[in-house]
Amino acid sequence: MIEFIKGTFIIAGALLMLLASLGILRLPDLLTRMHATTKAAALGVILIMLAVAMHFAEVGVTARAVAIIIFILMTAPVAAHVIGRAGYFVGSKLWSGTVKDELRPNYDPLTHELKSGRETEANARREPKESDPS
């Protein structure tokens, strides 16, 4: 039984990794590629680590596997966010099939100011920052 679960986890994890790499090749633009790489790869690593922990069934190995899972869960979304954000603001083109972009109209490329579209009178005025072009 446990053999079966371990095998399923490892195969599923490897398939997810394969899927992530296929996604990098096939998907049309930077942001959709970030989708494929972070999530599928993270879930793949988690499944493989669970299988490893089950296979060895030792405290040391399990603790390390859990630590790896926690670190992946902590770092993967941050990395995806930073790469995606940088790519978007540097101006990488979105795919032609993109149906909607609510960020572009609210972003000022000169001051790097990002409005929310729901400003009130009180916070509409902005303090000048050092990074503003003079």
Partner 1 sequence: MTGAIWNLLLALAWVVLSGDFTGINLMVGLVFGYIALVLIEPQVESLQGYPARIPRILRFIGFFIKELLLANLKVAFDILTPPWHMKPGVIAMPLEARTELEITMVANLISLTPGTLSLDVSDDRKVLYIHAMFLDDEEELRHNLKEMEYRALELFR
66 Cβ partners below 8 Å, 6+ apart?
A: 49, 53
What track of x and - describes contact with partner 1 for positions 6 through 45 (by CB under 8 A)? Answer: ----------x--x--xx--xxxx-xx-xxx-xxx-xx--
In angstroms, give the least distance from the CB of 59 to partner 1. 5
Residue among 23, 32, 11 at smallest CA distance from 87 = 32
H or E stretch including 107? strand 107-108
Contacts (CB under 8 A) with partner 1, residues 69-128: 73-74, 76-78, 80-81, 84-85, 88, 94-95, 97-104, 106, 113-119, 123, 126
Helix (H, G, I), strand (E, B) or coil at 113: strand
**Cβ 16 vs Cβ 47: under 8 Å:** yes
User: What residue ranges bind partner 1 (CB under 8 A)?
Assistant: 16, 19, 22-23, 26-29, 31-32, 34-36, 38-40, 42-43, 59, 62-63, 73-74, 76-78, 80-81, 84-85, 88, 94-95, 97-104, 106, 113-119, 123, 126
